[in-house]
A and B are shown apart, each in its own frame.
Chain A
Amino acid sequence: MKKERIISYRRRCLQIGTGLSHYILIVSKKARK
């Protein structure tokens, strides 16, 4: 268990805009190269 009394963070994707529907595979970066 984390010890902080308040946990809050947010991350931002470095390459936004590649979203798919729930029917597909997450195409891995390795496979893309």
Chain B
Amino acid sequence: MCDENQLQAKYANTGYGPQFVFLDIGLPGKIAVVEPNVAFWALVDHDAVQDALAGPLIADFQRKAEDFKREMDYLRFGLKPSAVYFNPTELCNFNCTYCYLPEKMRRNGKTMTVRELCDALEHLYSYFHRTLPDDSKPQIIFHGSEPMMARESMFAGIEKFHDKFHFGVQTNASLLDDEAISFLTGHNVGIGISLDAPEAAIANNLRKNWHGKGAFDSVVKIMDKLVTYPAFNVITTATSMNVHTLPQMVDFYHDHGVKTVMFNPVRCTREGGKKLKPHNNTMTEYFCKALERTYELYSKTNQKLVIANFANVLMGIAGPTGRRLMCDISPCGGGRCFFALSALGGVFPCSEFIGFPEYHGGNLFQDDLDVILKTKPFQEITTRTVENIEPCATCAIRHFCGAPCPAEIKMLSGTVNAPSPYCKFYEEQVRYAFRVIGQGREDAYMWDGWREDTEETFNLN
């Protein structure tokens, strides 16, 4: 609770008043005023700056400051794991240029048997049954390598446990035949596929099998079959080779009726990804052009294409607890909202760490999950906060960005306590998000239902 001195404060930045910082957001006539510790913000007209520093905004903020802090603390430190990135196999039929998993693993690795996979799900169910509320269903996301290489085991697990988990599968789509689509959609399994360009030449150069052959044409056919499925999305990994196609990619997806995509900048966790990292300025330029294009198309056609990783940043500002992806917050979701399971039973804070033995927290089949989640490699990630990173500790947007991702940062800097290699890109994304709010365009960029899934707890007006 605020003390009397704080409640009676008249001014920002002196005495008991709040510490507000100013942020240029590139919107004529408006600036952002931010209280970074609790992720509070206000967009202020230039001629209203005095009101923001000495007006009703101070009193309104002070009354809610403790609530904001509690909310951020819960979001950052109070959540329990509720999802698992489940790798049913180490094998992949693709050899994508930027994969974060070691080649040896993907070529010759282990695949779980039906029995092993069901046994793993049983262990996980037993854990979540104990740790989550009864009305909460944990999520299992089959992930890769290529999970469809373990089709028999994976489908048997889904069949047996479909009433105990929400299932999803992230796949390169090359092995999704009609029977598989029918099974997955029939069991309400979320389906994410990967596609990296609107044209075969670039897409096939980035994502290809061991013989160097891509699958652009067949992936597009699969995409067309799935566009009406509500739990479908596409991931495009942005690299130096395809970043310039992001705006065209928007048109491409829009034409095909896709509703949700992610334009994820490639992680530099391994050498392949590092070599393909797009320059921050280039990434920003084309990402923002892509965002602009989604707005134009939505205005013209009323058909929305949500770029979910941006929507998440926008949500982080509009309502921090409404985030659906937990990369852009510190500590990140790794090891505290979700964890990853390898085909050998190894438990890691996130899929990004599966190739790194030093982040192996234990084995699901042999060790107690409660103990695994408290091991040193897990604690290193679950206690990584922006407050311990320079220049993030004093950055105004530190809780809208979170300095992701610890895996790639560790590989680049030798420590997790360093800023993101995409720092400049995040700065610009947050500014873009503030402009969206300043223009009242949130609904054009956010997923449907975002207002219904949230309630307003503060409004100055």
Name the distance in Å between A3's Cβ and chain B's nearest Cβ.
Answer: 9
Interface magnitude class on chain B? 35 or more
| Of A6, A24, A27, A31, the contact of B48 (CB 8 Å cutoff) | A6
CB pair B461–A19 under 8 Å, yes or no, is no
Name the distance in Å between B169's Cβ and chain A's nearest Cβ.
Answer: 9
- Given that A16-B79, A19-B323, A21-B334 are contacting pairs, would A6 and B190 also be in contact in the complex, using a CB cutoff of 8 Å? no
Query: DSSP class of A's interface residues: helix, strand, loop or mixed?
Result: loop
CB pair B456–A19 under 8 Å, yes or no, is no
CB under 8 Å from chain A, chain B span 214-235: 229-233, 235
Q: Give a binary string over A21-33; 1 marks a CB under 8 Å from any B CB, 0 the rest.
A: 1111111111111
| Of B233, B309, B457, the contact of A11 (CB 8 Å cutoff) | B457
CB pair A7–B324 under 8 Å, yes or no, is no
CB pair A6–B139 under 8 Å, yes or no, is no
CB pair B82–A16 under 8 Å, yes or no, is no
CB under 8 Å from chain A, chain B span 14-47: 40-45, 47
**Nearest CB to that of A8 among chain B residues?**
B42
**How far apart sit A33 and B307, CA to CA, in the bound complex (Å)?**
24
Q: Does B88 contact A (CB under 8 A)?
A: no
Q: Give a binary string over A3-20; 1 marks a CB under 8 Å from any B CB, 0 the rest.
A: 011111111111111111
CB pair A18–B319 under 8 Å, yes or no, is no
Contacts of B461 in A (CB 8 A): 4, 6-7
A-B pairs with beta carbons under 8 Å apart, 10 shown: A8-B43, A10-B459, A11-B456, A18-B139, A19-B83, A21-B333, A22-B325, A27-B139, A27-B190, A33-B188
Top-7 shortest CB links A-B: A11-B319, A31-B231, A19-B326, A8-B42, A11-B454, A5-B48, A13-B321
